[in-house]
Structure 1
Amino acid sequence: MKILLIGYGKMGKTIEQMALAQGHEIVGKIDHSNTAELKEYTGQNTDVAIEFTHPESAFANISYCLTHGIPVVSGSTGWLDQFEDAKKLCAENNGAFFYASNYSVGVNLFFHFNEFVASKMQEYKAYQVSIREVHHLQKVDKPSGTGITTAEGILASYKDLEGWVSDNPEEKTKLNIASEREPDVVGTHIVTYNSDVDTIELGHIAHSRAGFAEGAVMAAAWIQGRQGVYGMKDMLNL
């Protein structure tokens, strides 16, 4: 594949290494210093774009790809208030758009198990459910996209909770997501069910970014020849 990297931070560099090791070609690398160069790429010279940037730039990058015939795989978080607009653009342009808050196969299995556990635990009212997520100091959005996806999986079963709240454990009518930022942490997500007599936890701890990069490259290959909006559940058949 001819891959355009949009975003060349830690994840972009890890994806580059993974893609090259698998025999793919990196046709371009776009970051904050050369955003104007994005206009040089279209579906004629690029098979797919892999986009990991910031909340303020993600939608514009995705929009460019969808309107210029480039299938796009995005892992940017913090911009999902515009997700419906991206889906509409994809449909209008017969495009291909793959989005996940986290591309790790292990994390997506965690999402799957999280939904199942929540569907059972909601019957036991003695347990208070909460989420804790820990990332590196450079992580700009709080809570993480993975933390929000985890919350959504729980809220699908917990109809008595009125959505989620960030760092406010005193708000008992909502699901609390506690966010911590520490040096050299790739990503930790823990769901806790706590009662007066015991605690049940379900968690995922990433040891490196390789799992995220592998999933993103896998998605870039999987989306070839497809049209529409997809996610990890589609690719992993969960």
Structure 2
Amino acid sequence: MQLHELEPEMEEFLARLVPGLSPAWSGVTADEVAQVEDLAGRPLPRFYRWFLRRLGRDMGPLRYRSLDFSPAQIVAAYSEGLVERGRRYLLIGRDLGPATPSHAFYDLDQPVRDDAMVVSGEALDDELEPSFETFREMLAWGALLTHGIQRHPQRCVGVLKDRDGDVRARLDPVLHSLGFACPIAAGRWCGVYRGPHADMISKVSPAVEPRLHVFRIGATDSTTIRRILGEIVSETSLELKIDGWQPELA
């Protein structure tokens, strides 16, 4: 199977979102993947194998500000004794920022959709906080935030609340009716939406019931955003609270 056949939806999503991305990213060798798999002590999730072979050496424009996902940094962290080998948690993103680090780990005991839950924390001896149900969602959510929403002239951030406990079950149908698509597979705790004139993301920690999602939406102007949010409120039972606009509205 060719690499692009492992994650066709993600490949198409990233290619549309960041034109010219493919020449800028760089993957690692099969031997380097095997090194990481040895640290895990079990087979790696399919999505992670795709990620390492596609973006493991250099993520290009998708790189994070302080998190380094390269196998070289992962292997070094274990060699330096910063992280201990464990059959459940695997370091996948090393935080090289100057402040208190918040590394990214796989919880390999919680596999889902050929991937696994991502948890974060300073070290394995600390309490790790679930952040995304899958690494696939983490990568797509961050990519759309940086290369989609933040590039729109007008943005809005707020909260959607569902008293019955499933924001996405209410949100998806109305967004689909407005022409939005969900480019990657995601669960109840994360939404990644691309529309004809706007982009939107939402999420909540998978450690809690998905009764509340923090959302971000970007579009050409506030009128477009207000129209979309108005449809969500009028067509669903979701409660909406706007926390801010960027730039601030006059």
Q: TM-score, normalised by structure 2?
A: 0.28
Specify which structure has the bigger relative contact order, considering alpha-carbon pairs within 8 angstroms and separated by 6 or more residues.
Answer: 1
